[in-house]
Amino acid sequence: MSLIPFHDRDGVIWFDGQMVPWRDATVHVLTHGLHYGSCVFEGERVYNGSVFKLAEHSARLVKSADLLGFTIPYSAAEIEQATRDVVKAMDMVNGYVRPVAWRGSEMMGVSAQHNRIHLAIACWEWPSYWSPEARMKGISLQVSKWHRPAPDTAPTASKAAGLYMICTLSKHTAEQAGFQDALMLDYRGQIAEATGANIFLVRDGVLHTPKPDCFLDGITRQTVIELARRRGYQVVERAIFPDELPTFSEVFLTGTAAEVTPVGRIEDMTFTPGEICKTLMLDYDALVNGRLSLVQAAE
């Protein structure tokens, strides 16, 4: 992972309708998004020069802002074009894209009805970290003490910056204890997700995954479900409690950054990444790199 700080890099960032030098893409310290969490974002991947599922990500960004009570002053189509423009300007082949929208600094306080809404889009190099063989070793998860909130206590269907505070706390605690990530339960004590990825569990050839009723229904999650069903695997979306964990043989995570990542351990329970996980990992890799279409996946 690069140690170059994100504020001090070469290149350009699309910022409120124009390309600006990377180091000049700054906001004031009293911006509302920093103080009150009125900020939404997306995480997208560039494969071979194209952003995977760009339309879906752009639409979700607009929806997330709506759920936080503000309107991004650009349509989803305009956001898509701006994203393509910055990827081209950065000559990005394989990388990561971060669109972010937030309330500005015109008003400081809980109420910010007249603050300007800003939008920026940045991208940087992000090659695949692991080969499929290396990923098959599986990562380790610690169960977090923090729970995903109920949908009537936070805008849980949005990709809002404030919802990730407990993810940072959970991941830091897990890493300090020697784990690589954290498994988060929801407000009912059901299995929810990892800190930035959805989770799937396999038992007797059937895929089980939590219902996304208080956390994001990830775009990668949706893609993997479609790939699995086209492979003939049964996928069951349901409530899953932690005491079921020993009954599963395979566990894996899905997300823009995680792609399809096997889990080898949760606390003191071990899992063996197997055929279903490997198949979906390879299918997803082929799909995002243009070697497979969802039509072909069905054949």
Would you say residue 276 has pLDDT above 60?
Answer: yes
pLDDT at 4: 87
Instruction: Name the residue ranges covered by the structural domains of the chain.
Output: 12-125, 132-297
Q: Which residue, chain included where needed, has tokens 């990830």? A: 218
Q: Is the pLDDT of residue 1 over 50?
A: no
**Residue 290: Cβ-neighbour burial (10 angstroms; 0-12, 13-18, 19+):** exposed
Pick the range with the lowest mean pLDDT from 83-92, 106-115, 288-297. 288-297
Please state, in angstroms and rounded to a whole number, the distance separating the CA atoms of residues 58 and 64. 10
Quote the pLDDT of residue 126. Answer: 87
pLDDT digits (tens, 9 = 90+) for 7-61: 999 999 999 999 999 999 999 999 999 999 999 999 999 999 999 999 999 999 9
At a CB cut-off of 8 Å and minimum separation 6, what does 219 contact? 53, 56, 57, 60, 256
Task: Return d(Cα 48, Cα 58) in angstroms, integer.
Answer: 19
What is the C-alpha to C-alpha distance for residues 123 and 96, in angstroms, rounded to an integer? Answer: 5
C-alpha 33/C-alpha 253 separation (Å) is 29
As a whole number of angstroms, the distance between CA 77 and CA 224 comes to 25
CATH number 3.40.50.970 given to 132-297: no
Say yes or no: domain 12-125 is CATH 3.30.1330.40.
no
Instruction: Determine the pLDDT at residue 206.
Output: 98
Distance between CA 67 and CA 89 in Å, rounded? 31
Q: Which residues pair with 265 in a beta bridge?
A: 140, 270
Is 135:257 a contact under the CB 8 Å cutoff?
Answer: no
3-state secondary structure of 67: helix
Catalytic positions, written as ranges: 159
Structure tokens at 108: 């400081």
pLDDT tens digits for range 207-252: 999 999 999 999 999 999 999 999 999 999 999 999 999 999 999 9
Strand, helix or coil at 22? helix
The neighbour count for residue 140, using CB atoms within 10 Å, is 16
The structure tokens listed for 164 are 């990730």
Distance CA 227, CA 221 (A): 10
Going from the C-alpha of 113 to that of each of 12, 33, 36, the distances in angstroms are: 30, 13, 13
CA distance 207 to 228: 8
* % of the chain at pLDDT higher than 70: 95
Q: How far apart are CA 202 and CA 248, in angstroms?
A: 5
